[in-house]
Amino acid sequence: REWWPVPLLWPACALLARNPPEVKTFYKTTGDNIIVSCFFSVSGSRMYFCREECEDKDILVQTTNVSVQSDRYSVRYVGGFVSGGYLYVKISQLTRADSGLYRCGLNTSFSPDPYQEFRIVHVHTETPTPRGTCTH
Q: Are 12 and 35 in contact (CB under 8 A)?
A: yes
Does residue 16 form part of some domain? no
Cα separation of 57 and 85, whole Å? 27
Domain that holds residue 66: 31-122
- CATH code of residue 60: 2.60.40.10
Q: Does residue 110 lie within any of the structural domains?
A: yes
Sheet of 46-51, strands arranged across: 24-28, 115-122, 100-107, 46-51, 59-63
Cα–Cα distance, 85 to 78 (Å, whole number): 6
Is there a domain that residue 130 lies in?
no
pLDDT in tens, 112-136: 888 999 999 999 776 555 555 444 4
pTM over the 0.85 mark: no
Cα-Cα-Cα-Cα dihedral of 28, 29, 30, 35, to 10°? -30
What percent of the chain has pLDDT above 90? 52
